Amino acid sequence: MARQALTGTQLPSEPELQSFATAAAQLLIERLPRAPGSRTVSRRAGVGLQHLDHREYLPGDEVRHIDWRQTARRRQAVVRRFESETTSDWTILLDASSSMAHGARKWKAAVHMAAAMSYALLQLGHRVGLLAFGERVLSQCPRGRGQRQYAAIARLLTGMKPAHAGQRSALGVCAPHLPGAATVFAISDFLADDEMRRDLGVILQRCAALHVVQVRDAAESRLSEAGEFDLVDVETGARMPAQIGARAEALAAGERAAMTARLRGFCQRSAAAFTDFDVEQTWQQALLRHLLRARSSC
């Protein structure tokens, strides 16, 4: 596709962002990272944190935070939850490799998802940062809070586009830029060797919880012409002769489905939340479905 088709990416409108943030608020505010050390609150007596509400006792909670009156009333262990506990650090990883330039709809959907997640999380007081990557970190917005942080992320998103060719996917390059125990939200088509599972394993070692959203466009495996062609990998430049036709399209679609199945299986084994998002869907529905599923997986 032409390079011009990817210029001037528009973000979701303010009403769209606010509507999504309202719908996602309960799904986000109730989620606490499960990994050791992932909470942002130092749980020492006398820190003076404001009490927010209660929740069920979980292994690892300090006994001093058990509310014995509520425990007796509900007949199950209940701990006090503090206001600071509801916020945490998030980093959004956005794939800006050349494969994301194949079809403007895929890049647009990925950018909309990154913007909407940033907006919703910042509305709830979380710290949010964003990394755009290819074979290296292409652009970065360090973690921050508030409206100014969303404005910074929005400028980054509207000012960038994936290279038309020559930019490979290397998710692992983001790992050194993930200080502390943050929740990571990775958005990519995962069209790379081993579906980036090796790199996802590296990211898993550096984060408190991992979300994986695979963006795909079914049109990628459909070609308008038939015959003998040289197929070119837009990321590596490698060429491969191929006989294009209905059978080849079916094989391509089957391999694409197999790649998704391998990625989904990896995420299930790794307790990472996974969503396969087709651009024919709306990004709002896909994100809300993902967040609902994530409550039970990571």
Indicate whether 94 and 234 sit together in one domain.
yes
Instruction: Return the number of other C-beta atoms located less than 10 Å from residue 292's C-beta.
Output: 12
In a domain, 24, yes or no: no
Report yes or no on 41 lying in a domain: no
Verify that 232 and 155 share a domain, yes or no. yes
pLDDT at 110: 96
- Element (DSSP H or E) covering residue 212: strand 207-216
What pLDDT was estimated at residue 127? 93
Name the strand (E) or helix (H) holding 81.
Answer: strand 78-82
Q: Is 29 among the domain residues?
A: no
Residue 188 and residue 81 share a domain: no
Last residue in a domain, options 62, 85, 108: 85
Does residue 59 sit in the same domain as residue 153? no
Boundaries of domain holding 276:
87-294
User: Is 155 part of any domain?
Assistant: yes
Instruction: State the sign of the Cα–Cα–Cα–Cα dihedral 29, 128, 112, 152.
Output: positive
pLDDT of 82 reads 57
Task: Judge if 61 and 166 occupy the same domain.
Answer: no
pLDDT for the residue numbered 296: 64
Full pLDDT tens readout for the chain, 298 residues: 233 344 456 899 999 999 999 999 988 865 444 444 444 433 332 233 455 567 788 776 778 878 899 899 889 998 876 554 556 899 999 999 999 987 689 999 999 999 999 999 999 989 999 999 999 999 999 999 999 999 999 999 999 989 888 889 999 999 999 977 789 999 999 998 899 999 999 999 999 899 999 999 877 655 556 555 444 444 455 555 555 556 666 776 788 889 999 999 999 999 999 999 999 999 999 999 999 989 765 5
Shared domain for 77 and 165, answered yes or no, is no
Same domain, 96 and 238: yes
What is the count of structural domains for the chain? 2
Q: What is the pLDDT of residue 54?
A: 77
Q: Where residue 139 sits, what CATH number does that domain have?
A: 3.40.50.410
Residue among 46, 43, 68, 47 nearest 57 (CA):
68
Q: At how many degrees (to 10) do helices 283-294 and 14-29 cross?
A: 10
Q: Is residue 30 part of a domain?
A: no
In this structure, the answer to whether residues 81 and 122 fall within a common structural domain is no
| Shared domain check, 202 and 78 | no
Same domain? For 77 and 202 the reply is: no
Same domain for 91 and 152, yes or no, is: yes
Task: Copy the structure tokens of residue 292.
Answer: 């609902």
Is 268 inside any structural domain?
A: yes
Residue 93 and residue 67 in one domain: no
* b/e burial code for range 218-230 (CB count within 10 A of at least 16 → b): eebbebeeeeeee
